[in-house]
Amino acid sequence: MDGSPVKRFIPLLLLCLVFVQAPAVSASVDIGRIGQPPTTLSDVYLRDGTAYISIDEVLGALGLRGTWDPVRHRYSFRTPAGTASIAPGSPYLRLGERFIPLDVPPRFIDGDLRVSEDFVTVRLPALLGSPIYFRNHQPREAPPADADSSLDRLFAFLLHKSKPATGGPALRAVALDPGHGGEDVGAISPRGDMEKTISLDVARRLERLLKMRLGTSVYMSRSGDYTVSAQQRLRIAANPDVDALVLLHAQGAFSPETRGVTLIVRPQEESEAGALVRGEGGSMRLARHLADSLQEKGIAVAGVMRAPLPHLGRGDLPTVLVELGYLTNPDDLARLTTPSGQEALAEALFAGLRSFAEQERKEARP
Ligand SMILES: [Zn+2]
């Protein structure tokens, strides 16, 4: 056979390999324990918009290791909370006798069991009881540019309200962001109560009310005491069914007299076309519904205000940051730290979200 057709074929073959392989490995990430130099992992695979990383490599970067059981088809590793095991395709992580749901099941890709980026940034720190340093060199939402403007674009992307579905529940899904977490404790009361604990407690109660009474899906930016990045916090709002984002905080003041709930919305809102929304905007309407229902339940509202806080982002998704009260005021502190007080706050926020959704739906009707 003449060698020339083969020679002509080889560059074509190489070209094909380049095209086939290039999209498979898409990014690299840095992972490590806080305070120790991180390890760069470069075999990060993108599938359906999710970054998958080898569980062996992730644990290795944290000084841990797991074992694959080829008979039971499970991967197990030890954590301070007990032995955890995961299986390819399974939407559950097993921890002792408990089954913890996973948003994204692990997958076998290219010969390795791989877990999602969210598993590494959300589940793993909760299991290990300590924050993990994590950096994706090529975050899926935004191209890297200078830090401020890329974060800004990320927010703009995340916080654009999707079209509400007609017919379904009034509130399809709510994103809840309990402030702070992990080493970031937030404000502290004179007797040592921490904002990070209060924000999570109230968020959990509100989550339960929304799920139980309205069947609303709830996306939480954290479900335990660990550090969450600004991107991870707002990522929950990227779910297409999210109708509102509520950020929960508590604050402190110099004077013990200062008290009440403060509701904060971003200064202006943009439509999807980038034009400023005329009138109040969904965030301000949501804030007013929340303020009304808090007051109806006898909880003082210090004010509803607009402030250019970076974590409120841009866009037109109804977004309200709720400062639940002052840790420096005895009455507020009692409400913020007792089960009955936290439940009263959650009930009021729930009622405000529900009346907001009902009102929006009425007005959306022709
Ligand atoms: Zn805070």
Domain locations along the chain:
21-136, 147-364
Q: Please give the pLDDT value at position 60.
A: 92
d(CA 165, CA 205): 26
State the distance from the centre of ligand 1 to the C-alpha of 178, rounded, in angstroms: 9
What would the mean pLDDT of 211-229 be, rounded to a whole number? 92
Three-class SS string for 226-287? CCCCHHHHHHHHHCCCEEEEEEEEEECCCCCCCCCEEEEECCCCECCCCCECCCCCHHHHHH
180 alpha carbon to ligand 1 midpoint, in Å?
A: 6
State in Å: Cα 143 to ligand 1 middle. 28
Q: In the chain, what is the straight-line distance between the N-terminal and C-terminal CA atoms, in Å? A: 75
In this prediction, residue 164 has a pLDDT band, given cuts at 50, 70 and 90, of low
**pLDDT surpasses 50 at 178:** yes
pLDDT at 97: 77
Residue 352 pLDDT > 50: yes
Q: What is the pLDDT of residue 162?
A: 55
Q: 186 CA distance to ligand 1 centroid (A)? A: 5
Lowest mean pLDDT, pick from 123-127, 288-292, 319-323: 123-127
Residue labelled with tokens 């002509």: 8
Going by pLDDT thresholds of 50, 70 and 90, the confidence category of residue 336 is very high
Quote the mean pLDDT of the chain.
82
Compute, in angstroms, the gap from residue 202 CA to the centroid of ligand 1.
Answer: 13
Distance 179 CA to ligand 1 centre (A): 5
pLDDT at 96: 79
Residue-wise pLDDT for 63-118, tens only, equals 899 999 888 889 999 988 889 999 988 888 888 777 777 878 899 888 889 998 88
Question: Is the pLDDT confidence value at 272 over 70?
Answer: no
Q: Which CATH number fits domain 21-136: 3.30.420.130, 3.30.457.10, 3.40.50.300, 3.40.309.10?
A: 3.30.457.10
Q: How far is the CA of 191 from the centre of ligand 1 (A)?
A: 18
User: Cα–Cα distances in Å, from 353 out to 24, 181, 349?
Assistant: 42, 24, 6
Q: Is the pLDDT of residue 365 over 70?
A: no
User: pLDDT-based confidence at 20, cuts 50/70/90?
Assistant: very low
Distance 326 CA to ligand 1 centre (A): 11
Residue 357: per-residue pLDDT: 94
Instruction: Provide the whole-model pTM.
Output: 0.58
Q: According to the model, what pLDDT value does residue 148 have?
A: 46
- For the sheet with 217-220, list strands across it: 217-220, 173-178, 242-251, 319-326, 261-265, 301-306
H/E stretch holding 21? helix 4-21
196 Cα to the center of ligand 1, angstroms: 8
Q: 3-class SS at 10? A: helix
- The answer to whether 21-136 and 147-364 have equal CATH topology is no
Residue 77 Cα to ligand 1 midpoint, Å, equals: 34
| Structure-model confidence comparison of residues 12 and 195, the more confident one | 195
CA 290 / ligand 1 centre spacing (Å): 18
What pLDDT does 145 receive?
Answer: 39
Please calculate the CA angle 350-317-146 and round it to the nearest 5 degrees.
Answer: 130
Give exposure, 329-362, as e/b (b: 16+ Cβ within 10 Å): beebbebbbeeebbbbbbbbbbbbbbbbbeebee
The predicted pLDDT at position 23 comes to: 40
Give the largest Cα separation in the chain, rounded.
Answer: 94
pLDDT winner (highest mean) among 85-99, 138-152, 154-168? 85-99
For ligand 1, the distance from its centroid to the CA atom of residue 136, given in whole angstroms, is 25
Rounded CA separation 32/128 (Å) = 13
Q: Tell me, in angstroms, the distance from the centre of ligand 1 to residue 292's CA.
A: 22
Domain 147-364, CATH: 3.40.630.40
The reported pLDDT for the residue numbered 101 is 75
